């Protein structure tokens, strides 16, 4: 990078592109040139800065000023005022930047500064330039692993860190790797699950758009630890920008000798192929995903055997979520103890949440494990929109639990939520205000499951259809007296007998919504 | 005369498409594991997957036709009927549902005169439902071809759709 006076970061992600980020960028570059400032001011593309729904977002450094809803018409004034005269343009400054997004060191708020591990580079570096990732200590962890650690030491360090899968199942990553390492066979695979289909979740998309090299490095380390030389990223077909950036990043890594044969001139070889999914929620389940990777219908498999012994093409396979793998480089670089410094004793590290629904500033945040729901909603997301009352939050995606006001102060992590019969799942938090009709909400969840049931097993195929039939007639005020009890009964049977988590998990949204809003929902049955 | 020319033209176009399909099949020849990749490319080419295309893919990749059909009908992304030139999809994921996605769908169905899953007679639009496109912060969202629209209001929706010829 040349020495320049100001850096202007422009956030390029699906949301800002839609708001016209490309046009703003073009105008900005032209305006800077016409003012003769090209040598002094550098315009850099970056991933999401975490805030959504604020139009085109620019960040000017070193001041760290965030501008939102910027249009091409604003550019001449912005360049003249801020970049030429040094006076920040007040009318465009984002007032409601969730604290997480402000990375000003001198800021001392009520809460201590929040850690970023997974999203450390997102919104700061240009994701399409490998040099910027390397400048931010990128690929140092794989170099450290390859030159100073044995695969067993990498696994041991990962185990010690306490890292668990961030896709929802929360299985200890190091143990999974260990199983695959010890499984018989020469050919093994690393599969990254980027088939983010859980409604309300878009964390993996923003990690892929904002820092694709981090995922590549995480997969490299996993490959080295397990003894695999081939990796696959199974990614949602709808994620056009993520696919483009990831493929670009893979190309750059190959050029730099960080992917391919004899990485860093050592004996370790590893390469990554990107595979596009074709839209099936059930493919988020690891064995269904493997079936799909093999070119078949995405039906879940019988377990055991587990993928770590017989996965892709019957070879030992590790399936890890994007966020899980994105944690790995820093664990190896800074050590397990450093990682344990974040989160709680039983659940370490950070968690990326997508917070959406009726909140003032929806978006993406990374906080320590164990942060309370209250802090997430009121400190980071600006509270409930339009000053309304909090009714409940659906935590963990469509198959998650509804949490009422009594759960606001419960620590949010995988271990603790389990004690309250709730799940963290993929980290989606959908907040509902007092005006939301709970029956309608539950109806939307049930319709979703009927649509996504893959039809492989009877309880789920017939159960989801029956649930929809019942909720539809209740919603049309034609419900029968025992309809609500039937919903509960069917969901319980599905939980006990369904083949995969899709059918098993439906009991959670049904039982939790009835726990809090039983009266409201039952009052609709005459 | 003019009509005849047009006919030839279309025929030539179709032949060209099938030539391209042959190239795709060649790339994946005898590799059943690459079926989904091949189908992605084939659908990109034709806009949907007609019976003849399914047969050719099945033969080329050495997969039975029933398996090809099974895969196509399993995944949302694939279609066996012709689609409109513009693919309008309303998101009904939970976040969009809370913020009025259902209302958007009703409005679109009324204005376009078709139900979700159908195509207008002039083949200008196909209407569909999508379950979460990861734009939850911008709910309710709508997808037209590859363009995402967020915070869509029922009043503005038709204006947006009409931009697509």
End residue of a domain, out of A72, A97, A122 = A97
Asked if residue B79 belongs to a domain, the reply is: no
| Residues B11 and B48 occupy one common structural domain | yes
Which residues form the domain of A299?
Answer: 130-339
Q: Which of B102, B149, B91, B138 has its CA nearest to residue A356?
A: B138
- Give the end-to-end CA distance of chain A in Å, rounded to a whole number: 70
Q: Domains in chain B: how many in total? A: 2
For residues B96 and B32, membership in a common domain is answered with no
Question: How many residues are given for chain B?
Answer: 165
Say whether both B102 and B58 belong to one domain. Answer: no
Q: Both tokens of residue B37?
A: 């990749």
**According to the model, what pLDDT value does residue A405 have?**
95
pLDDT at position A1 is 42
What does the pLDDT profile of chain A (526 residues) look like in tens digits?
446 778 888 888 777 887 888 889 999 999 988 888 888 888 888 877 777 778 898 988 877 788 989 999 999 999 988 988 888 888 888 866 544 444 333 333 333 355 789 988 888 899 999 999 999 999 999 999 999 999 999 999 999 999 999 988 899 999 999 999 999 999 999 999 999 888 888 899 889 999 999 999 999 999 999 999 999 999 988 788 899 999 999 999 999 999 999 999 999 999 999 999 888 889 989 999 999 999 999 999 999 999 999 999 999 999 999 999 999 999 999 999 999 999 999 999 999 999 888 888 888 889 999 999 999 998 888 889 889 999 999 999 888 999 999 999 999 999 999 999 899 988 999 999 998 889 988 998 998 899 889 989 999 999 999 999 999 999 999 999 999 999 999 999 999 999 999 999 999 999 999 999 999 999 998 7
| Cross-chain residue pair B95–A451, CB shorter than 8 Å | no
* B147 with A18: Cβ contact below 8 A: yes
Q: Are residues A72 and A183 in the same domain?
A: no
In A, which residues are within 8 Å of B93 by CB distance? 199-200, 448
> Of A281, A349, A291, which is closest to residue A319 (Cα–Cα)?
A291
Measured between CA atoms, the residue of chain B closest to residue A312 is B33
Radius of gyration (C-alpha) of chain A in whole angstroms: 24
Q: Say what the pLDDT of residue A108 is.
A: 32
Count of domains for chain A: 4
Does the residue A109 lie in any domain?
no
What's the pLDDT tens digit per position in A249-263?
Answer: 999 999 999 999 999
Give the closest-approach CA distance of A284 to chain B in angstroms: 13
A447: Cα separation from own chain's centroid? 24
Same domain, B93 and B143: yes
**Whole-number pLDDT of residue B2:** 44
- When CB atoms are compared, the residue of B94, B134, B138 closest to A444 is B94
Higher per-residue pLDDT: B75 or B131:
B75
Q: How many angstroms away from the CA of B8 is the closest CA of chain A?
A: 35
Q: Which residues of B touch A446 (CB under 8 A)?
A: none
Give residue A12's pLDDT. 84
Same domain, B65 and B104: no
B98 near A CB under 8 A: yes
Contact check, Cβ <8 Å, B137/A237 = no
Domain boundary among B74, B103, B123: B74
User: Any idea what the CATH number is for the domain that residue B158 is in?
Assistant: 3.40.30.10
B residues 43..62 contacting A (CB < 8 A)? none
In-domain check, residue B32:
yes
CA B32 to chain centre: 23
pLDDT for position A99: 47
The shortest C-alpha distance from A510 to chain B (Å) reads 14
Q: Which domain holds residue B54?
A: 2-74
Q: Indicate whether B99 and B142 sit together in one domain.
A: yes
- The pLDDT score that the predictor gives to residue B7 is 52
Give yes or no: residues A363 and A459 share one domain. no
Q: Both B66 and B45 in a single domain? A: yes
Looking at residue A101, what is its pLDDT? 42
Q: How far out from the chain centre does Cα A272 lie?
A: 20
Give the CATH number, domain containing residue A396. 3.10.20.600
Give B118→chain A minimum CA distance, Å. 17
Q: How far is B73 from chain A (nearest CA, A)?
A: 9
| Interface contacts A/B by beta carbons within 8 Å | 135
Considering the domain architecture, whether residues A233 and A309 belong to the same structural domain is answered as yes
Is A357–B95 a contact, with Cβ atoms under 8 angstroms apart? yes
At which of A433, A463, A498 does a domain end? A433
Contacts of A275 in chain B (CB under 8 A): 36-37
- Measure the CA–CA gap between A240 and A30, rounded to whole angstroms: 28
Residue A205 to residue A196: CA distance in whole angstroms: 8
Same domain? B96 vs B156: yes
User: Is A157 found in the same domain as A78?
Assistant: no
Domain boundary among A339, A360, A378: A339
Sign of CA dihedral A290, A295, A299, A301: negative
Does a structural domain hold residue A111? no
Check CB contact under 8 Å for B92 and A448: yes
Q: For residues A142-158, b (16+ Cβ closer than 10 Å) or e, as one string?
A: bbebbeebebeebbbbb
Contact B132 A201 (CB under 8 A): yes
Give the model confidence (pLDDT) of B14-44 as tens digits.
889 999 999 999 999 999 989 999 999 999 8
Domain CATH number, residue A222? 3.40.50.11540
A124 assigned to some structural domain: no
Write down the pLDDT at residue B4: 45
Task: Judge if A307 and A399 occupy the same domain.
Answer: no
Q: Give domain status of residue A215, yes or no.
A: yes
pTM of the shown model: 0.86
Q: Per-residue pLDDT for B5 more than 60?
A: no
- Are residues B70 and B90 located together in one domain of the fold? no
């Amino acid at each position: 990078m040349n020495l320049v006076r100001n850096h202007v970061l422009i956030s390029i992600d699906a949301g800002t592109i839609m708001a016209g980020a490309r046009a703003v960028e073009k105008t900005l570059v032209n305006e800077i040139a016409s003012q003769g400032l090209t040598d002094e001011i550098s315009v850099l593309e970056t991933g999401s800065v975490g805030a959504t729904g604020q139009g085109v977002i620019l960040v000017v450094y070193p001041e760290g000023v965030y501008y939102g809803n910027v249009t091409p018409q604003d550019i001449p004034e912005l360049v003249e005022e801020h970049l030429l005269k040094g006076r920040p343009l007040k009318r465009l400054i984002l007032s409601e930047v969730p604290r997480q997004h402000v990375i000003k060191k001198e800021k001392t708020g009520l809460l201590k500064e929040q850690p970023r591990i997974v999203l450390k580079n997102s919104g700061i570096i240009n994701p399409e330039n490998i040099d910027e990732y390397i400048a931010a200590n990128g690929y140092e962890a794989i170099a450290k692993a390859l030159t100073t650690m044995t695969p067993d030491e990498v696994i041991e360090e990962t185990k010690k860190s306490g890292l668990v899968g961030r896709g929802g199942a929360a299985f200890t990553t190091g143990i999974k790797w260990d199983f695959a390492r010890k499984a018989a066979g020469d050919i093994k695979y690393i599969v990254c699950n980027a088939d983010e289909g859980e409604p309300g979740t878009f964390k993996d998309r923003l990690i892929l758009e904002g820092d694709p090299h981090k995922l590549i490095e995480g997969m490299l380390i996993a490959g080295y630890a397990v003894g695999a030389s081939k990796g696959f990223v199974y990614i949602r077909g709808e994620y056009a920008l993520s696919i483009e950036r990831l493929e670009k990043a893979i190309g750059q890594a190959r050029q730099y000798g960080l992917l391919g044969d004899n990485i860093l001139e050592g004996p370790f070889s590893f390469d990554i192929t990107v595979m596009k999914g074709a839209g099936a929620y059930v493919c988020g389940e690891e064995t269904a995903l493997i079936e799909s990777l093999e070119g078949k219908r995405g039906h879940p498999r019988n377990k055991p055997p587990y993928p770590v012994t017989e996965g892709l093409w019957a070879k030992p396979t590790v399936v890890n979520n994007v966020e899980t793998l994105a944690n790995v480089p820093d664990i190896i670089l800074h050590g397990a103890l450093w990682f344990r410094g974040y989160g709680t004793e039983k659940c370490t590290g950070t968690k990326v949440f997508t917070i959406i629904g009726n909140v003032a500033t929806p978006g993406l945040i990374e906080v320590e494990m164990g942060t309370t729901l209250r802090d997430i909603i009121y400190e980071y997301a600006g509270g409930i929109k339009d000053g309304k009352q909090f009714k409940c939050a659906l935590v963990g995606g469509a198959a998650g639990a509804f949490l009422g006001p009594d759960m606001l102060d419960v620590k949010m992590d995988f271990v603790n939520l389990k004690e309250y019969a709730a799940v963290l799942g993929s980290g989606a938090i959908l907040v509902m205000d007092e005006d939301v009709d709970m029956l309608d909400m539950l109806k939307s969840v049930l319709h979703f499951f009927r649509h996504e049931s893959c039809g492989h097993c009877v309880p789920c195929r017939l159960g989801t259809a029956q649930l929809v039939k019942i909720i539809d007639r209740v919603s049309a005020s034609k419900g029968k007296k025992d309809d609500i009890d039937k919903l509960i009964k069917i969901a319980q049977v599905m939980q006990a007998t369904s083949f995969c988590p899709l059918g098993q998990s439906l009991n959670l949204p049904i039982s939790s919504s009835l726990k809090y809003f039983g009266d409201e929902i039952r009052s609709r049955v005459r | 005369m003019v009509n005849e020319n047009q006919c030839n033209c279309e025929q030539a176009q179709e032949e060209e498409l099938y030539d391209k399909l042959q190239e795709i099949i060649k790339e994946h020849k005898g590799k059943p594991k690459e079926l989904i990749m091949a189908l992605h490319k084939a659908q990109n080419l034709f806009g949907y997957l007609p019976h003849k295309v399914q047969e050719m893919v099945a033969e080329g990749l050495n997969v039975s036709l029933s398996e090809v059909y099974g895969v196509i009908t399993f995944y949302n992304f694939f279609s066996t009927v012709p689609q409109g030139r513009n693919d309008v999809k309303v998101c009904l994921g939970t976040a969009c549902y809370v913020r009025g996605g259902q209302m958007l769908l009703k409005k679109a169905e009324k204005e376009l005169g078709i139900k979700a899953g159908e195509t207008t007679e002039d083949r200008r639009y196909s209407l569909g439902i999508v379950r979460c496109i990861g734009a939850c912060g911008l709910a309710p969202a709508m997808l037209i071809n590859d363009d995402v629209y967020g915070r869509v209001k029922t009043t503005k929706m038709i204006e947006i759709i009409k931009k697509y010829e």
